[in-house]
Chain A
Amino acid sequence: MATSEIVHAHAAPQGFIRKYIFSLDHKVIGIQYFLLALSAVWVGMVLSLLMRIHMIWPQANLPIFGHIQPETYLSILTMHGTIMVFFVLTTAPQGGFGNYFLPIQIGAPDMAFPVLNMLSFWTTFVAFMIMLAAFFVNGGAPLHGWTGYPPLSAMQSTGPGEGLGADLWITSIAIFCAASLMGALNFITTTLDLRAKGMSMMRMPLTVWSWFITAILGLLAFGVLLSAGILLLMDRNLGTSFYVPLVVVNGQIMGHKGGSPLLWQHLFWFFGHPEVYIAIVPGMGVTSQLLSTFSRKPIFGYKAMVYAMLSIGFLGFMVWGHHMFMSGMNPWSAFAFSILTMCIGVPSAIKTFNWLGTIWHGKVRFYTPMLFAVGFVSLFVSGGLSGPFLAQPTLDIPLHDTAFVVGHFHLIMGVAAIFGIFAATYYWVPKMFGRMMNETLGKIHFWFTFVGTYTIFMPMHYLGMAGQPRRYSQFTEVAYLQHLIPLNRFITYAAIITVSAQVVFVINLFWSMFKGPRASDNPWEATTLEWNTTTPPPHDNFGGHTPVVHNGPYEYGVPGAARDYVMQTDPAVSTSPAH
């Protein structure tokens, strides 16, 4: 504590550049991350529309983009996946909201290492610029998919985009890994060292738990991807053969010998599977927080929620092989990976039951953030239940690498995580910018997005069962895929409508930021510390004093209390909580 007070003794900066650009304030950095992710999500979303359009009208001549070739389709697919996973799903929930609210929710004046925090954001920014640059170099962006399996990704001659574009792609990811490691260290240290008096670990809001666990996952996972990426760069540029055996590309013997394509898959998925949880766990935290707040009821099974997240994080490191059942990996190991994967379904189910239990006998207030939190639960269930299909190697035989997988992971780690981000945005924007968002526009946005999501991704499960492989740029060459074209067309229409509805969100966000009605300090009548300071919070978060915590994070509906909520800083509630 003593050191942190010295570090944070700096006065609020006055100049524009130190205040808004190279800021040390975790709140400004959080907003910077949020805006970066917002820009990235538009790039990623436009790319997804281009893909959907190309799939059903392969000959279309689009304005601006022209006629999309099959190889351009694959570049778009690669960049869509990479940008969404790294610069949206990893950046917004953790870098954005985590940065802004973790210190406030534990009663700290800032992150433990403010300079590292700034560095982490600007490193992420550089990574994003390098990623975008891949579009504009000779040959364009790489076509090897976001998973970048070598040998395809390891040699220039395997296809267009595998030249400089692929080098930029790997470099960008490596830099992003470094940035995420800095962020992860900062989150972990802050959570462990800077909690206010009375904020025991078991009084932390579940959002803080989720960011803390995500940071640990990041710390252990990103280092592996960083190393794997460096080896891939060496294979590409320095003539090493970590991933490439003797191969003959288009009649030419390449210079490699003795490498293993499966090595990359092991390293990549050792990162890649925890990455799924890096994307979704903060959404679980936000959903727990919001369901409790808007049901006016304590979270059901706080401890079980914490242990469930911890075990998801722990097991998440032991299941990477379920991405590789068809890879040529020893079939015996499929047993272990499969059973561990099934086990990870158990804490996920616990969370779902507890969310339902939280609403049960509550008094639900249907503000927009609550709608998105309920949407999160629904999508989490739908996306989660296709998991036990894919976790069985037997069923992976027909389903692996089909549209079924695409539907599965988009529901659970794509859109469910995005719903977490939307819920967080509607919930916290009033605190961040001092203005309420418009409820009517918010609800319109919710309904279009919720129904739209299902109409896009549920049919992909049907396509996958019928055997439609993923990453096909068109369905005209394989005879049995032709009868699936109408369903694909339906998905494209649904995607166009759903993407268009996102304009409503952006209008609402920016209009409210400047013109929305002023937000009070605690508009949702919530209990955690961020609602215990001014809106927006001052530079040191609590205006010169440190809050002292007396209660758990979700004391709603306490019998005998004057209001239906007891804030964490209020005098201790007499009925000591059961947990």
Chain B
Amino acid sequence: MGLALLAVIWLITFVSAYFFIAKTWWLPTGVAAAAARIDHQFAFTYLVMGIVFVLAQCSLGYVVWKYRDRGDASKAVYSHGNTNLEIVWTVLTAILFVGLNLMGSPIWAAERFQPAEEGALPVEVTGMQFAWYFRYTGPDGKFGLTSPKLMDPSSGSEAAIGLDTSDPAAKDDVVTGTMVLPVNRQVDLTLRAVDVIHSFFVPNFRFKQDAVPGLAIHMHFTPNQIGDYEIACAELCGLGHYKMHGVVKVVSQEDFQKWLTAREAEKQ
């Protein structure tokens, strides 16, 4: 039985570790400025935890087999522990865990403590059951007013977020159902939700942030590769949660300008 435990625990350990090492399933390709640092921290945590995992499981399998009752009359070793050992592993794990934490902290600080840089592209994201809407300021660089009284989700886009067209600043606002972003320019994101909590999750950008009713949450990120990427809602928001997805199109600076100009022209 001891041998069976050893074999099964080791087998589980090696099979689990294999899929991690082979990266059969892994983080999706990172295409935003922060991805490299986050992935590095992930890979490092994973290496350290992987080593601890293999060592701990293998020791467990080994000791239950090695110290099995062999049926002789001898007694087990009479010991109540070893204070020095306790101190050693307490200090070691404390250094390891707190160290990992300190290593990761600057990345978090860089992503969340600073406001967006000058010249970032302001985009407002609004989540509602079960769609995302994206708003661009238009030439005036300002978001116009919206009003809950004007919200009409059945009419889509501008009406869905309740754009108040009597406000001059709102007249040139562009509202779309697909997010289009220029490559290599920081996005100054404002996140809102009108009904329940949603979460704006773009796996390729290593970006996630809840959108909370009553709050306007400011975030920033910089996409750095042209392509289409998916948005998935990551906070349970009701029966359509699983299909509340969207697309981010990252295009060149020129294509972005062309697209935005065309949208503004449509409004005239």
Q: Which residues of A approach B to under 8 Å, CB–CB?
A: 69-71, 74, 143-145, 149, 151-152, 158-160, 244-251, 253, 258-262, 295-302, 304, 326-328, 331-332, 334-335, 338-339, 342-343, 345-346, 349-350, 352-354, 356-357, 359-366, 371, 374, 377-378, 381-382, 385-386, 388-389, 391-398, 400-402, 443, 447, 450-451, 454, 458-459, 462-463, 465-467, 469, 471-475, 477-481, 484, 487, 556-559, 564, 575, 577-579
Contacts and interface: CB of A to CB of B under 8 A. Distances in A.
A371 B67 contact: no
A385 B53 contact: yes
Contact of A364 (B38, B69, B232, B236): B69
A374 B5 contact: yes
Q: Shortest 5 CB-CB distances between A and B: which pairs?
A: A245-B214, A467-B203, A301-B81, A462-B25, A331-B112
Given A261-B197, A472-B241, A357 B230 contact: no
A334 B108 contact: yes
Nearest to A454: B12
B101 A469 contact: no
Given A261-B212, A343-B97, 19 more contacts: A152-B196, A244-B213, A248-B128, A249-B195, A295-B67, A297-B77, A299-B80, A334-B112, A353-B86, A359-B67, A361-B77, A374-B64, A381-B60, A385-B52, A385-B53, A394-B104, A401-B201, A402-B234, A471-B236
A423 to B, nearest CB: 14
Contacts of B194: 247-248
A454 B149 CA distance: 52
A201 to B, nearest CB: 17
A467 B230 CA distance: 11
A474 B241 CA distance: 10
B227 interface: no
Contacts of B154: 251
B195 A158 contact: yes
B214 A152 contact: no
Given A70-B240, A298-B80, A477-B245, A246 B5 contact: no
**Which interface class (under 10, 10 to 19, 20 to 34, 35 or more) fits B?**
35 or more
A361 B67 contact: yes
B36 interface: no
11 contacts: A151-B196, A248-B194, A339-B101, A342-B101, A350-B90, A363-B70, A364-B68, A382-B53, A385-B52, A392-B101, A451-B12
Contacts of B97: 342-343, 345-346, 388
Given A296-B69, A364-B64, A401-B234, A558 B78 contact: yes
B39 to A, nearest CB: 9
Contact of A70 (B63, B237, B242): B242
Contacts of B42: 389, 395, 398
B45 interface: yes
A74 B101 CA distance: 35
B151 interface: yes
B238 A159 contact: yes
B197 A564 contact: no
A326 B198 CA distance: 11
Interface of B: 1-2, 5, 8-9, 12, 16, 19-20, 24-28, 38, 41-42, 45-46, 49, 52-53, 56-57, 59-60, 63-64, 67-70, 74-83, 85-86, 89-90, 93-94, 97-98, 100-101, 104-105, 107-108, 111-113, 128-129, 148-149, 151-154, 162, 194-197, 199, 201, 203, 206-210, 212-215, 217, 230, 232-243, 245
Given A392-B41, A469-B232, A478-B245, A251 B67 contact: no
Nearest to A244: B213
Given A151-B213, A297-B78, A474-B242, A465 B27 contact: yes
Contact of A253 (B19, B27, B148, B235): B148
A386 B215 CA distance: 31
Contact of B212 (A70, A328, A332, A334): A328
Contacts of B107: 394
A466 B28 CA distance: 6
Contacts of B12: 378, 451, 454, 458
A474 B154 CA distance: 25
A261 B214 contact: yes
Contacts of B201: 401, 467, 469
Most buried by B among A247, A250, A334, A467: A467
Contact of A467 (B28, B162, B235): B28
A23 B121 CA distance: 69
A364 B67 contact: yes
A363 B63 CA distance: 10
Contact of B25 (A151, A354, A386, A465): A465
A401 to B, nearest CB: 4
Contacts of B83: 301
B34 to A, nearest CB: 8
Contact of A398 (B27, B59, B210, B243): B27
